[in-house]
Structure 1
Amino acid sequence: MSRMRVINLGLPKSGTTTFAEAMKAAGLAVADHRIRRGQTADPALWRNFVGLVLYRGFFATGDPLHLLGEFDAVAEASFLKGGHSAWPQMDHALIAALRARHPQVKFTATRRDAGALAGSMMRWTNMAKRLPDADIPGLPSGFGTTQAELTRWIDGHYAHLEQIFAGDPAYLELDIAAPDAQARLAAHLGLDLPWWGRANENAQRRDPAAMHQEGPA
Structure 2
Amino acid sequence: MKKDFAKLNYYEMLDVSPDAAFFEIRHAYNAALQVYAHDSIVSYSLFSLEERKKILDLLEKAYLTLINAQERKKYDNELAQAGVALHGGKKAPAQVPKSIYDIKRWTGPAVSPKKTNKIILRESVEESEKIRGILSKPEISGSDLKEIRNELGVPLEKITQETRVLLDYLVCIEENKINRLPAEAFLKGFVKAYLKSLCLEPADEICARYVRWLESAGKTGQAEEK
TM-score (norm 1): 0.25
TM-score (norm 2): 0.25
The answer to which structure has the higher strand fraction is 1
| Structure with higher RCO (Cα < 8 A, 6+ apart) | 1
